[in-house]
Amino acid sequence: MQTSFHMSLPCIGVKETKGFYINIGASLGRTTQNWVDINLFGHQITFIKAGKFHFNNPNYVFEGKILPSFHFGIILDLKTWNSIYAKLKEQSLNVVTESTFLKDKMGEHTSFFIKDPNDYMLEFKSFKKSKDIFNS
């Protein structure tokens, strides 16, 4: 059985959140004035209008890169990853830390981050070998 992931997060504005996620290739699910379901490559993220909110967003260093410790993301095949990366770069969006990690090691993957309108960091990741996603 293939399963999907669900996450619910607060958002500042439903309209801005919908626009951002549609722009990066997601689609809309159920929606109201106060919340929206986003279909992010088969995974459901529910954003609920909560107004301004605050959270501590510390970083960590991995292979010499400063990365956000609080983030979520999606694992894509390389063709889809390249297409989304090119689209976002064309739009002059603030793409952060595009890099290949664990080069020539188990778990090698290419990744970039982008901030959504709610200040969440969203990671797009593509593994060189899909079998390495959970291998250690």
The CATH number assigned to the domain holding 13 equals 3.30.720
pLDDT tens readout for residues 8-41: 888 889 999 999 999 999 999 988 899 899 999 8
What value does the mean pLDDT take over residues 59-68? 79
Residue 112 shares a structural domain with residue 71:
yes
Confirm whether 54 is domain-assigned: no
pTM of the model: 0.77
Cβ atoms 75, 89 nearer than 8 A: no
More confident position, 114 or 59: 114
Report the Cα 38 to chain-centroid distance in Å.
12
Residue 31 shares a structural domain with residue 92:
no
Q: How many domains does the chain have?
A: 2
Looking at residue 90, what is its pLDDT? 87
Looking at residue 56, what is its pLDDT? 64
Nearest-angstrom CA–CA distance, 106 and 113:
21
pLDDT tens readout for residues 87-124: 888 887 778 778 998 899 988 999 999 988 888 888 99
Residue with tokens 């292979």: 63
Residues of the domain holding 121: 59-132
Residue 127 shares a structural domain with residue 65:
yes
Cβ-count burial of 124 within 10 angstroms (0-12 exposed, 13-18 middle, 19+ buried)? buried
